[in-house]
Amino acid sequence: MPEEIMVEVSYASTREQLIISIKVPEDINVKQAIEKSGIQKKFPEIDLGKNNVGIFGKQTTLEHSLKNKDRIEIYRPLIIDPKELRRKKAAEGMKKGGGK
């Protein structure tokens, strides 16, 4: 029987966040751990074909092998590109006379 490790699966919607701690076989990958956690039942908007994932804030793949105490983070898609948002804010500032 394979050894087991503890991992966390986390997701934050616009209204709430959830972190699920689960015990899994040590030879498990990110996708398998997400599926085993059941987090998609609570947040049906999670689509592993679209949502990016990471471990402790560093983007990774669904096939990445996990280590004991890893925290998987499922990221929501961006509504607007941060660079585009900064451009819009800068343009609005210029219109209001806020430019230099």
Which pLDDT score is estimated for 26?
94
pTM for the model = 0.77
What pLDDT band is residue 59 in, cutting at 50, 70 and 90?
Answer: very high
Closest CA to 1 of 23, 33, 26: 26
Q: Per-residue pLDDT tens for 64-77? A: 999 999 999 999 87
Q: What is the mean pLDDT of residues 46-67?
A: 96
Q: Per-residue pLDDT tens for 15-34? A: 999 999 999 999 999 999 99
CA dihedral 28, 46, 16, 65 (to 10 degrees): 20
CB 53: neighbour CB atoms within 10 A? 21
All domains in the chain, ordered by first residue: 4-95 (3.10.20.30)
Which pLDDT score is estimated for 99?
52
